[in-house]
Structure 1
Amino acid sequence: MTRRPLSRFSLVAAAVGLLAISAVNVAPSLAAEDAVVIPPPAVDDQAASGIQTAVLAGGCFWGVQGVFQHTKGVVNAVSGYSGGSQMTADYHMVSTGTTGHAESVQIKYDPKKISYGKILQIFFSVAHDPTQLNRQGPDTGTQYRSAIFTTSDEQKKVADAYIAQLNAAGVYKKPIVTKVGPLQAFFAAEAYHQDYLTLHPTQPYIAYNDIPKVENLKKIFADNYTEKPTLVSENKATN
């Protein structure tokens, strides 16, 4: 089933009404959801130098972006679209589930401070559930699929090996469905999608679905967590 365009905003509007009735301050009182503690990758990219790029898709890009904006070593994280053409890289079109795009996040990182394998460990552990096929939480459709868009042969090697390692270890109750394939292009999303978690922390969709991911990052990956997010609005390294 494909969600209608702007479905997340409809969900937010409905939830706002409920919160107004109950007068609950969601963000401070919400406990973090359970995350899956997983082993680090046995195979990692040891040769990378200079600022590197990872592109990941794991449901709504608001939460994935928010997690990596709070990750040490990440110099920028931009919400956008991958898997389709430039002509259809538009939120309203992508939301139909017919464009081939997945809501994705382009992550620029310093391999001296964080490795590609560590980024994947965070991605699989706290940023999303890699066993959900064409959905994530309340969002359904191929645009919310779990995917790794690799930018080098070494990234593909690390990603494939890590998925095989995690499946063999049985750390999830179901097999990982994440698709690994080469990045053809990444298109930045509209400005109003950028830094969404930071700008709207008490919006019900963010509070229920995404703030717990950042809390889990802080709890499980304390050494990789930074309190101050790296924001697109403050960062020019978007290409």
Structure 2
Amino acid sequence: MWIVTGEQLLLLEYIPNKSLYDRLHSHKATSSGCLSWSNRISIALDIAHALDYLHSVADPPVIHRDVKSSNILLVNNNHAKLADFGLCKLGHDAYGAQTPTIIRGSLGYVDTNYLNTGLVSPKSDVYSFGVLLLELITGMKSLHGSITLAEWTNECRKHQDVDVMMGMLDPKLNGQVNGEQLRVLVHVANMALLENSMARPSMAEIAHWISSCMERLPESHLPT
């Protein structure tokens, strides 16, 4: 490394596998290979842990406000990193704020409660994470014309029959998924997308459920 007096250098990590958006929706998805089911669950867990850290460990805490597939970078072995904090809100005051703010975020991912009230909270990130889960499951973009992915999948994802849930699965997976894991992830997405933001789980709870899902715990251990 060379240091030149008076000069500033911004050093960025090289990300060989691009973004999750690239891998799911662009030509790179073909050239780099389809993300396997286990890859997708692992990516979901990585981002759940990242958001839990921002909400519960970081001081001051952070609300990201723009969780989406293009802001998730894939590194070695398709581990995921959350990027782009340009819209984030910092500090404990942001958590209990009762003053509406200008709506920020990306269409299709933005919390419906935030859209209606202008009030942002950690549960706004939880909602966006729910959309991200659906994106990983279906391989579809968050917005189709004026229809959001949450709306498009509403009927299938609220069905109790795993065979019905399989109907919204990304065809590139060729059905190579664990049905019980699919049921858990869809259930977690449904909880994250609840209209009542206070009823949504925390990212710590979501991370625990996904981790348990990867261990294929029996049905009695699943979230309710």
- Shorter-chain TM-score: which interval? under 0.3
| Pair member with larger Rg | 2
More contact order relative to length (CA 8 Å, sep ≥ 6) = 1
Comparing both structures, which one devotes a greater share of its residues to helix? Answer: 2
Between structures 1 and 2, the one with greater strand share? 1
TM-score normalised by L of structure 1: 0.21
Q: TM-score, normalised by structure 2?
A: 0.22
